[in-house]
Structure 1
Amino acid sequence: MMTHTNVLIVDDEPDIRELLEITLGRMKLTTNAVATINEAYERLNQCHYDLCLTDMNLPDGNGIDLVAHIQRTTPQTPVAVITAYGSMDTAIQALKAGAFDFVSKPVDLSRLRELIQNAMRVNTSAEVSTSDKMQLLGESGVMQQLKKTIRKLARSQAPVYISGESGTGKEVVARMIHEQGPRSNHDFVPVNCGAIPAELMESEFFGHKKGSFTGAVNDKPGLFQAADGGTLFLDEVADLPLHMQVKLLRAIQEKSIRPVGSQQEIPVDVRILSATHKDLGLEVQEGRFRQDLFYRINVIELLVPPLRERGEDVHLLAQYFLHKLSLDCDLPDVTLSDDAQRHLARYQFPGNVRELENILERAFTLCENDKITLEDLQIQSSHSPTGTQAAINDAREIDNLESYLEDLEKQVIIQTLESTRWNRTAAAKKLGITFRALRYRLKKLDLDGPESNVAD
């Protein structure tokens, strides 16, 4: 925690002001308490504050006005608001205006201390270098704006809904929001909501007690507990069944969960980030997604642009993926021929960044003389890709097929290597692929073991 931390308290109730001053004083924080917005403006003009804690209803205005003022004048100062019990709509309005977080009356002191500790980490986390953390590649205008927005959202505790097509990198964005924020020293827990069987969903999210159902042989913590203090990323949130949406909404609003088979509520401090490639507004209209949950997780929406809208980033991304492939396989770097570069620049990438990575991975295994040609790319020049290309938009549909094909490929390669006594040059020839392609597949399938050291 920072030393000599100054906190501005704004509340017109003397008892609340005294309670907050005592609590923060015990945390070794310096406080100034005022009763009106105008007094708060005067204090803000006179000195710097590391945090502002304000009530919503004040004699001369609304706490949201103070949030907006601080956002304009000293946006680096986090503002937390105190809301009336059950005023979730008001809390959401404050978060949309730029509030860092909120706490409801009657003030839970343990919750208040957690909030303040998180707020104090906002500015210190900004001072830490992010060079070793996850980065979002791209120098186009839309990507520069996206990175700027991520840095801003990382300072808040507001729920963020990340929208965008499949393959655009929504999870990368979510991880960056987490890693650049005050929760970075706690866990980032991603969960694919469409991959959990409906009958196990409540147990997965909230945990269960031993004996609560057949097969529950031990107590098991859930995803909320795993993410306590950190971030829970709900990927493909539109795939949650309606009965689970109700339970999730309650957990988010109450900041507590109840494991299956337990009579006790467990408080959890989790920031919620969510994403889906579907139109969540349309899902609400069609009755497949609850409107109240939609408003709760969609406090701030962040759109990740498709690759076709930032074509100038394609070459940079291609260089990154090819260099990574070369490092992973301990092979020389490969380059793209001029024709291949032009073709990638024209291609529309219906599968976005994920499709570009897959195309280059395939081309990497096929190319010869460390250069990828137009033929190695194996894609059609298309400005309006349809048909089978559109299937790339939903990677979940090919998960099982990919696993099956990977197992089949492994079996064929092992059989061929055994037939050539693990002579990889002979095996590559027999399989009709280049030596580079075989070496890459051995590495990818984790077959590059001691046997592969046999002389070729």
Structure 2
Amino acid sequence: MDGTVLVADDDRTIRTVLTQALTRAGCKVHATGSLGQLMRWVDEGRGDLVVTDVMMPDGNGLDLVPSIARTRPGLPVIVISAQNTIVTAIRATEAAVFDYLPKPFDLPELMARVRAGLARQPRRETAPAPATTAAPAAAAAAAARSDDPASMLIGHAPVMQALFRTVARVVNTDLAVIVAGEPGTGRSTLAQALHSLGDRRDGPLVRITAGDPADTLAARLDAARGGTLVLEDPAGWDPAAQARIAGLIEAAEAGPDRAHAPRLVATTGPDPEADAAEGRLRPDLYYRLAGLVLTAPPLRARLDDLPALAQVSLERAASPAPQLSNGALDALRAHPFPGNLRELDNILRRLALTATGATIEAPEVAVALAGPAQPRGGDARGAANGRLADTVEQHLQRYFDMHGDQLPPPGLYDRIMREVERPLIQIALDACSGNQLRCADLLGINRNTLRKKVSDLNIEVARRRRVM
């Protein structure tokens, strides 16, 4: 390689490693731990390429990019950052940096990016408008809050960085997007980020689910004008609702007010194309939504991100947040996490509340993965009651997790009551050797009520002598 590279990073080790590697490759290097010094070199006309960190003692490297572009149009800037968030990727794209790499980066990969930057043709000499950096900065500040959904869109894993890069390219377009993935992978969070981090952030965000009546769809689409309309799992809607929304979308996009038509974002299962091919999702609706398909990866595909994700969940659950030991992290990595991020968040919130010290150890994780913590102390009867409540809670949580970002079908209370009532009556009858009078007394209900429930629930009653 031939050229002069300006390196700005507050980590002396990184400056040393980059200086040695670039020098061996044939480059001249000026390295500094200050953005002020970096900008002085740029003003003096030094350097053919810039490599800068984001968070520096005297400022933010991304905030400096527009100044570099105005002073030296066409000077390639490569941003490296330990802030592996979707907001950083979007800000890097909107600042028109030449490239962006998350830390820790692969040195050969960075060297390849530097080589490409030094060899490329100069870009157009245009200075970014001030608003270009102001809006992303506001979005970044919002996303930094722990209660903001975008705060969970973090990840160093290659699959997440690829996702962030794609989102950064389309976030400020009107392209319809399908966010596909398994339940619990953060599909709804990503859908919201497409709205809240894009040009439509000041407009309305309206969601439509399977539970919304078909006769309200027109009103909800109208309410989303100028903003974003999110269709939650349209493959789970009845065919009439799918046909209705497809027609309404077509009318909105072809009508006189089409300039204010909402951006369309849909969340689906892992394979929306198969849903369309097999008739679960109307093909005409699918092709209206599938301008681009983004796939939210399952947690098992991004285990390198687990420590950062875990820390976010712990900090949201407790202050001060406990830490995870290396053994605890290993125990989490070994778990399959069928519920993905939602399951991880539930487990860590529980661990944060039940932790006995500042550090969570592997045995505590093992207990949490096996189920909710058991009550301590009290008599055997109290412990049994505690275990029953915990088991029911765990069952119900898994039932909700199975539905991902959607709610279970209506009628949940009666359905759960029936599921609990049948085994309760069956076991009580068995304990009473089929004697319904004794069973009714045991349950605290009258005999006629018991008989009706036995009939309604199709419970077989067998009178037999108990073997003691």
TM-score scaled to structure 2, two decimals? 0.48
| Greater Cα radius of gyration, structure 1 or 2 | 2
